[in-house]
Structure 1
Amino acid sequence: MNSKPLPNDIDACHQLIAELQSQVGEHQQIIGKQATELSLKDKLIEEQAHSVLELKADHDKLDEKVIELNLKIEKLLKQLYGRKSERRVDGEGQLFLDLGEEPTPEVVSALEEAIREAEQIVDDAEEANKKRRKKRPEPSDRKFPEHLPRYEKIVDLPEAQRKGLILIGYDEVETLESTAGELKVRVTKYAKYAHPTDKSQGIVTPERPTGLVEGDRFDASIGVEVVAWKYFYHLPFYRQQDLFAGSGWTPSRSTLGNIETAVEFALRPLADYLRSVLKHDRTVGCDDTGVLLITPKAMPDLSEHPRGKRIGEVLGNAIESGKPSINANMWGYYASRLPVVVFDFTVSRHRDGPDDVLSDFKGNVLGDCWSGFQKIDLRSDSRITFAACWAHARRKIDECRGAFPLQVAKLESLIRMLYDVEDQIKELDDAARLARRQSLSRHVLDQIAEYLDSEAMQSPSVLPKSNLGVAAGYVRRHWEALCRFTEDATIPLDNNDCEQLMKRVATGRKNWLFKGSVASGERAANLLTIIGSAIRNDLDVRAYLDDVLRRALAGETDWSVLTPHAWKAEHPESIREYRQDERRQAADRKRTRRARRRLLNKSTRRR
């Protein structure tokens, strides 16, 4: 390549240098422009990458939200259309477990004893079924109770058809009839006397007994009907109007409300006494449910109310913010050994409700892991110990069955073993029950803890924020409270009895819908306490209420003899024996079902 010769004179060199500098400047401009374009492209790429990451993060959040909503939908569908019983039928993914690969000799001995016991239970159940089938009466042998009043109606042939025939007897057919409730008006005449000459002595008349309402216009039986219909049969006042109208009297709803108020006022000391009896038990279950409370137009007088400060705060906020109603709470307390239940009404789900009711209680409180129970031992200076409910823990795990079938099946099988142990030790005394819990139940609890820490329950199999991860976290956080039943024989494994108790409030709430005032809610709690305790003792609620109400109006104040369990001993004729039979049969069926499952478990392990 031939290059252009360089000039020799100074001017030409200067000119050449100027041309070269101009070319370099142009090249630098081009390079700068290209660099700027590259910088803009890099920035655009970086922005696009950042946008992609943001979109991916948003997409992941949406995926999590979709999963969460699907789980909620699945849970709601299960609540609406799923089986209501929590008993799990064995199926695909359900595991049969023994008591560990290397159990202690004591555990092995208990397992063998459980198998022998299960075989005996199954044999006894089959024998009992055979006897029942043999003794089953024919339909023609079933008679109505002899104490029911009877009248005769003779159906004869027409006279023309009877000619030449001899009557040899009658075929008797008993038909049960029902008529509307009969109302009667009792007219009581009180004699009046006057001195014939000394008019200063005035009129002398017999002393009048205390009536349910002023003027003694309604007998105690009317008060019993109103209260029993509302809190036992769950009939609101507007339906009671129809029932009374069918008997010829149509009371106003305010009249029915006044009658309820009068009954509760007379029996309030009995409800208070039942609350004191509850505190003599070693373990008390507690649960709650919401009740709608209408916000008053003006603040009521709370100067004499023991909870006036808290009630004033809640109602004051509701009135100030213009809320038409607030979510109040009805609490239920279930004594584990004593045949007593207690209800309490509060204006909010605040811990001051249980703290107040259990202010002088010393023992164990069994319930869900609500935050108000978490530190109750500290607030009570160690008077109260909190024990957690295994049914709540199992329920949270069972909700994850669709996404984690194998893990849930394993955990539920282990939890079911805890119930099997409880079933085996049910009839033992406290010392023997506690010993079995500390050996057998502790062994199962160790297996549950080991599985919760196993690889199957860790990431990536189970993410911490997944529904099973949250359920497992619930069990880990409250492990000490869940294991507390192994330290005290009076603590049940779950709080299901108290939860069943709260169904009375939920059923009533669907009918009477709301409470119109704090006083109305407290009246309902007192009446539910009395009626709920009567139901727990399998009593004829109306017969019990009628007797104790009349005795209270007559001035009797020995409430210890008016409690349902004391009254029951004096009135065996008012015990609903069919309720006891129903519970006994249900317990026998459950016991037999679990025994058959243990035998199936045994045969599965041998294969």
Structure 2
Amino acid sequence: MKSPNSYNVLIMVDESLPNDIQDCHRLIAILQRQVDDGQQKINQQATQLSLKDKLVEEQAHSVLQLKDNQDQLNEKVTELNLTIEKLLKQLYGRKSERRIDGAGQLLLDLGEEVTPEVVSALEEAIRLAEQIAQGAEESSRKCKPRRPQRDDRKFPAHLPRYEKLVDLPKEQREGLKLIGYDEVETLELIRSELRVRVTRYAKYAHPADKTQGILSPERPTGLVEGHRFDPSIGVEVVAAKYFYHLPFYRQQDLFAGSGWTPSRSTLQNIEAGVEFALRPLAAHLRSYLKQDQTIGCDDTGVLLITPAAMPDLSQHPRGQRIGEVLETAIAAGKPSINAKMWGYYASRLPVVAFDFTVSRHRDGPDEVLGDFAGNLIGDCWSGFQKIEVRSGSRITFAACWAHARRKIDECRSAFPLQVAQLESWIRMLYDIEDQIQKLNASQRLARRRSLSRHVLGLIEEYLSGEEMSPGRVLPKSNLGQAAAYVRRHWEALSRFIDDASIPIDNNDCEQLMKRVATGRKNWMFKGSVFAGDRAANLMTIVGTAIRNDLDVAAYLHDVLQRALDGETDWARLAPHAWKAEHPESIRTYRQDERRQSADRKRKRRARRRLGK
């Protein structure tokens, strides 16, 4: 199509054309200009519409992006609220994990397909619960024992006694006859008494032959050079720190009250002397622990002060790994390192062990359990999960149901029904363990393979059922993550039903780690790698003595003196063996307390199983 200018030129050139044709050309030119103007306006409107569409598209994209950001923020807020709730619960909530029945607690449903073995086991469990509950009711109906006679309330006969006579004044006794005395026993405490033993070693010389030198009796081995401190001082220092959890600066006050104020470095040297003498005993206890079929393991943090310069680690068995961690911390200028204290708890043997590492690295458990063949139970840390592969199937990992239950229980406020149902079945697993506690290994295994396996099947079915589907429980929610944790470690969580030596949880070892946590609140940190190793060895000995209900000070004093005298029969000096030779040093009241606590727990669970 020609432009308007071309038509104007055509009209101007051809002026000889008739007027009507010229009018037509003019009209066509005018119409063409109008068409072009309209097209231009259309193009402008189209451009404006395109810009509007693009703006709408950008706005829609911005809205979607804002919505996505809002969803992420909402998810973050929910996560932070759950974290705050968890922290508040840890600070101010109940410390015990024992559940109290409430309105949200569901009755246990064992499903429709119950095998005869399960029915038989349930009937036996009900009969046992009835017997326990009936025994508890009968004992509660019995009359309370009469108040003991006065002689029975006297203090132990082996305590030293002295008499103090209180009489009337002489002027009041005139004309009276003495008919007897009323005795009142009052217990007194005398502050710890320190005394200095001066030992004089005779010296002899040959009067005629001076070349023979001076002869003197052989001197015993002491804790420190010069034999300046008796083993009783070393026992007091170690027992105060690792049994009573008193740091050196508090021990200074105790000793100062008795007339001697030692420096902290002196107390540290005494501790090091005790550890050096008993180091082989700690190694023997670790070796004895690995004779068990199942070992529990757990760890907790210990602050390690970063040294100003690299120490000499050439003689340390883990020198390379320790050197890498210390070099990194020194280069980064870190004032301290989050080291780890590991605890090991034998399932059947009366022994515990501790180990110190500079980080939570798998080298620790791998080295301690280097020649161990059996089961390891703990949390689902990746280092534990892969220990079976690293050990060439020599060690089998079993997961802890207490950890799984804890993760599920944290979701109670958001998913009360699902949590109540899952905890009902988990509680049933613990009830079964309570019932079979006193049975032999084959009976326990048979009960686990019948009743426990059935309950585990119900839990597994519920986790894959409608109530736990993504439509009701989002995968990223706290319950979704807890369920994923259980599904992911299901094989390890189910291993206890195929081995009677595997406990259902690792609570015994976790209770053991409380000793580290309590001590950490007092001595706060370790000043060096070697101080951490000394603490692990001494805590191994003290912890095993506690597990055997021994008088820790009496045990340490005897074995330390015998070790200094040269005795090396560590199997005989182990707490469980020493216990048999020294029944007078057994804390029987601790055994009674545990027995009474276990009886109360059995009665409480029996009443609950019967719905009382």
Letter of the 1:368 partner, please give it: D
Letter of the 2:303 partner, please give it: L
State the partner residue of 1:331: 342
1:41: Cα distance to partner? 1.8
Q: Work out whether 1:212 is the aligned partner of 2:192.
A: no
2:609 corresponds, among 582, 598, 605, to: 598
1:413: Cα distance to partner? 0.5
Q: Work out whether 1:533 is the aligned partner of 2:550.
A: no
Q: Percent identity?
A: 78
1:154: Cα distance to partner? 2.3
Alignment of 1:387-426 (within 5 A): 387-426=398-437
1:32: Cα distance to partner? 2.0
Secondary structure at the counterpart of residue 38 of structure 2? helix
The whole-number CA distance in structure 1 between the counterparts of 2:267 and 2:350 is 30
The whole-number CA distance in structure 2 between the counterparts of 1:73 and 1:87 is 22
State the partner residue of 1:194: 205
* CA deviation vs aligned residue, 1:349-394 (integer Å, no higher than 9, x gap): 0001000000000000000000001111110011000000000000
State the partner residue of 2:357: 346
The whole-number CA distance in structure 1 between the counterparts of 2:483 and 2:150 is 54
State the partner residue of 2:52: 41
Secondary structure at the counterpart of residue 342 of structure 2? strand
Alignment of 1:549-564 (within 5 A): 549-564=560-575
Letter of the 2:483 partner, please give it: A
Alignment of 1:119-518 (within 5 A): 119-130=130-141, 133-134=144-145, 137=148, 141-518=152-529
The whole-number CA distance in structure 1 between the counterparts of 2:164 and 2:187 is 13
The whole-number CA distance in structure 2 between the counterparts of 1:19 and 1:310 is 94
**TM-score if structure 2 supplies the norm length?**
0.95
- Judge which range, 346-355 or 119-128, deviates more: 119-128
1:132: Cα distance to partner? 7.7
State the partner residue of 1:585: 596
1:93 corresponds, among 104, 123, 132, to: 104
1:482: Cα distance to partner? 0.3
User: In terms of Rg, which structure is larger?
Assistant: 2
The whole-number CA distance in structure 2 between the counterparts of 1:204 and 1:130 is 77
Q: Work out whether 1:546 is the aligned partner of 2:566.
A: no
State the partner residue of 1:4: none
1:142: Cα distance to partner? 2.2
The whole-number CA distance in structure 2 between the counterparts of 1:130 and 1:384 is 51
Q: Work out whether 1:29 is the aligned partner of 2:40.
A: yes
The whole-number CA distance in structure 1 between the counterparts of 2:180 and 2:254 is 42
The whole-number CA distance in structure 1 between the counterparts of 2:247 and 2:150 is 38
Letter of the 1:272 partner, please give it: A
The whole-number CA distance in structure 1 between the counterparts of 2:562 and 2:151 is 44
Secondary structure at the counterpart of residue 234 of structure 1? coil
1:131: Cα distance to partner? 5.1
Q: Work out whether 1:50 is the aligned partner of 2:61.
A: yes
* CA deviation vs aligned residue, 1:118-169 (integer Å, no higher than 9, x gap): 1111122233445582256478952211111122222223333333333222
Whether contact under 8 Å (1:241, 1:250) holds in the other structure is yes
The whole-number CA distance in structure 2 between the counterparts of 1:187 and 1:288 is 46
* CA deviation vs aligned residue, 1:12-69 (integer Å, no higher than 9, x gap): 1111111111111221222222222222222222222111111111111111111111
Q: 1:130 to 1:267 in 2, by over 3 A?
A: farther
Q: Work out whether 1:16 is the aligned partner of 2:27.
A: yes
Letter of the 2:371 partner, please give it: D
- Judge which range, 72-81 or 530-539, deviates more: 72-81
State the partner residue of 2:15: none
Letter of the 1:258 partner, please give it: N
The whole-number CA distance in structure 1 between the counterparts of 2:598 and 2:306 is 45
The whole-number CA distance in structure 2 between the counterparts of 1:366 and 1:131 is 43
- Judge which range, 325-334 or 424-433, deviates more: 424-433
User: Structure 1: which 5+ residue stretches go unaligned?
Assistant: 1-6
Whether contact under 8 Å (1:234, 1:511) holds in the other structure is yes
The whole-number CA distance in structure 1 between the counterparts of 2:460 and 2:483 is 10
Whether contact under 8 Å (1:99, 1:107) holds in the other structure is no
Letter of the 2:98 partner, please give it: R
**TM-score if structure 1 supplies the norm length?**
0.96
State the partner residue of 2:113: 102
The whole-number CA distance in structure 2 between the counterparts of 1:268 and 1:317 is 30
Secondary structure at the counterpart of residue 111 of structure 2? coil
Whether contact under 8 Å (1:286, 1:498) holds in the other structure is yes
Secondary structure at the counterpart of residue 126 of structure 1? helix
Letter of the 2:605 partner, please give it: R
The whole-number CA distance in structure 2 between the counterparts of 1:346 and 1:139 is 56
1:303: Cα distance to partner? 1.4
Q: 1:140 to 1:62 in 2, by over 3 A?
A: farther
Secondary structure at the counterpart of residue 90 of structure 1? coil
Secondary structure at the counterpart of residue 112 of structure 2? coil
> How many residues in Structure 1 have an aligned counterpart in Structure 2?
595
- Judge which range, 38-47 or 130-139, deviates more: 130-139
- Judge which range, 520-529 or 97-106, deviates more: 97-106
Secondary structure at the counterpart of residue 398 of structure 2? strand
The whole-number CA distance in structure 2 between the counterparts of 1:139 and 1:91 is 47
Letter of the 2:261 partner, please give it: T
Secondary structure at the counterpart of residue 211 of structure 1? coil
Q: Work out whether 1:84 is the aligned partner of 2:95.
A: yes
State the partner residue of 1:3: none
User: Structure 2: which 5+ residue stretches go unaligned?
Assistant: 1-17
The whole-number CA distance in structure 1 between the counterparts of 2:225 and 2:235 is 17
Whether contact under 8 Å (1:333, 1:343) holds in the other structure is yes
The whole-number CA distance in structure 1 between the counterparts of 2:143 and 2:243 is 33
- Judge which range, 38-47 or 329-338, deviates more: 38-47
Secondary structure at the counterpart of residue 177 of structure 2? coil
The whole-number CA distance in structure 2 between the counterparts of 1:324 and 1:476 is 41
Q: 1:132 to 1:415 in 2, by over 3 A?
A: farther
The whole-number CA distance in structure 1 between the counterparts of 2:243 and 2:407 is 32
- Judge which range, 533-542 or 92-101, deviates more: 92-101
- Judge which range, 502-511 or 150-159, deviates more: 150-159
The whole-number CA distance in structure 1 between the counterparts of 2:572 and 2:138 is 42
1:408: Cα distance to partner? 0.4
RMSD across aligned positions (CA): 1.4
